[in-house]
Structure 1
Amino acid sequence: MTLRSVLAAFVLTALAGCALSEDKVALRYVPTSSATVVDAAKGIPINLDVVDGRTSNRTIISRKINSYGMEMAAIRATQNPTELVERALKQELRIRGFDVGDKGLSVTATLNKFYNQYEVGFFTGSAVSSVDVNVLVGDQSAPTFEKTFNANQTDDAFIADGDNAKAALEAALGKVISQIMANSKFMDALISEAGAGAPAVTPSSEDVTS
């Protein structure tokens, strides 16, 4: 047996790990960049709603694989990924000065994908994570802004377990949230739409000059 074959066999064995037992991981949001207050956003009320639009893999975030690349035991999150997305968006909006609550401009974020796929390589495996979020501002029938944001993260993984899936998914989520908050059209929609909805101010008689 050649050294190359020995190394390949070792990698495949390590990657499989305990492929028959399920893992559960606690996910967290890890910001990818620092944020500051946006003066124009101060006090603007935002009503954020995050919904689960996933059509598959709604109860798991990944699966372990065996040495042949076959999917095995499930990897699950201790919380619903939509809750994580909601906390992340609320955190970033509040940092910038928005007042996120149950009133104000409607912002709907739909989580369409949140999944890590393990892949087998020759010298190492990979944890390939993808997060997909659609963001809509305003009324569903006539939104002032709508865009789908997607980010991927690929990490080397010697073991196809919950920890490696967690790390890759958290990185992908951080990228998506960063994309959303850095999108100037999204921020403009929040500020301009909120301003357009403010009541008009009627000048008093003292303010009117002949």
Structure 2
Amino acid sequence: MTIRYVFQVLLISSLLCLTGCALTSERVSINYKPISSSKLIKGADKVTVELEITDNRDDKTRISCKKNAFGNELAPIRTTESVTQTIANAIKNELKARGFKYGNNPNVFIKGDLTRFYNNFQPGFFACDAFADFNIGISVYSKTGLKIYTRQIVAHGTLKNIQLMTGENAKEALDNALQDGITQLFNDQSFIDSLINNNIAANSAPPHTGGISQKASSGGSADETLNKIVELKKMLDSGYITQLEYEKKKAELLDKF
């Protein structure tokens, strides 16, 4: 047995290993691990949320693709559950963990536009890496349809130095990307404020009795007040005003109701 023969055997074995049964399609279940540091938020129990996720991906049928050691795409990798349902369940769980309600007669709406949820394998000579992307636009709307929050979430998940380009490794990288994206969203205080403040403004508005009271007409509508509060929060986050100034101005706006 020559050294050249041994090298060829090892090379072929490595190629077969990296391919990971690449000709067989596979279905995997994406799992979300809840944020351990989540806590109940004051006022969240008075907010009922409705959530809708729209799938705007070019290819809605797969979340990854197996490759051979040369980087050629082979069998597709799909999910057992729709991606939008998985993402919606993750967001719902985090909302409930903070005390928000989900169900009938919502007073705030969350809409998500999913543009990417995909894992890409990058093969090397002896190992490969899995790189997953999760991109989604999140918007929050008041009951009257006013957009009060918007953000583009760009999240990533990686799995390095793996030997098999299989569904299980794609799943793990995508699990990490989903975790990153949802964590980004719920760590954004502006997102939480848009849910809480929207409900405060809506509940502070005077009842409709066939006309507009003098107090309401001088202070503006609930949506206008909420818009101003959101703008104040942006100024606070940018450092233009202090926390004390923010709280004072917000109280003044709410007092007008």
> Structure 1 length as normaliser, TM-score?
0.87
Say if 2:189 is the partner of 1:184: yes
Q: 1:41 to 1:125 in 2, by over 3 A?
A: same
**1:169 is aligned to 2:169:** no
Whole-angstrom CA distance in 2 between matches of 1:173 and 1:131: 6
Aligned residue pairs: how many? 201
Matches within 5 A, 1:1-210: 10-54=13-57, 56-102=58-104, 103-138=106-141, 142-156=146-160, 157-200=162-205
Letter in 1 for 2:154: N
| Cα distance in 2 for residues equivalent to 1:152 and 1:104 | 32
Displacement, 1:141? 7.3
CA distance in 1, matches of 2:158, 2:110: 30
How far apart are the structure 2 equivalents of 1:169 and 1:4?
35
Take 2:196 and 2:111, find their aligned partners in 1: how far apart are those partners?
16
When Rg is computed on C-alpha atoms for both structures, the one with the higher figure is 2
Does the 8 Å CA contact 1:125/1:158 hold for their aligned counterparts? yes
Q: Alignment identity in percent?
A: 32
Report the Cα offset of residue 17 of structure 1.
1.6
Q: Distance in 2 between matches of 1:60 and 1:13?
A: 23
Q: Which amino acid in the other structure matches residue 83 of structure 1?
A: Q
TM-score normalised by structure 2 residue count:
0.72
Deviates more, 1:184-193 or 1:32-41: 32-41
Aligned residue identity for 1:195: I
User: What's the CA shift string for 1:37-88, capped at 9, x where partnerless?
Assistant: 011322311111111121x221101000012110000001011110000000
The residue type paired with residue 81 of structure 2 is Q
**Partner SS state of residue 38, structure 2:** coil
Distance 1:117 1:91, change over 3 A: same
- Higher share of residues assigned strand: 1
Give the whole-Å Cα distance in 2 for the aligned partners of 1:175 and 1:4: 42
Unaligned runs of 5+ in 1: 203-210
SS of the counterpart of 1:87? helix
> What is the CA–CA distance in structure 2 between the aligned matches of 1:178 and 1:68, rounded to whole Å?
35
- SS of structure 2 residue aligned to 1:131: strand
Q: Provide the aligned C-alpha RMSD in A.
A: 2.4
User: Tell me, what secondary structure is at the counterpart of 1:197?
Assistant: helix
Q: Which moved more, 1:179-188 or 1:13-22?
A: 13-22
Q: Residues of 2 paired with 1:9 and 1:120: CA distance?
A: 15
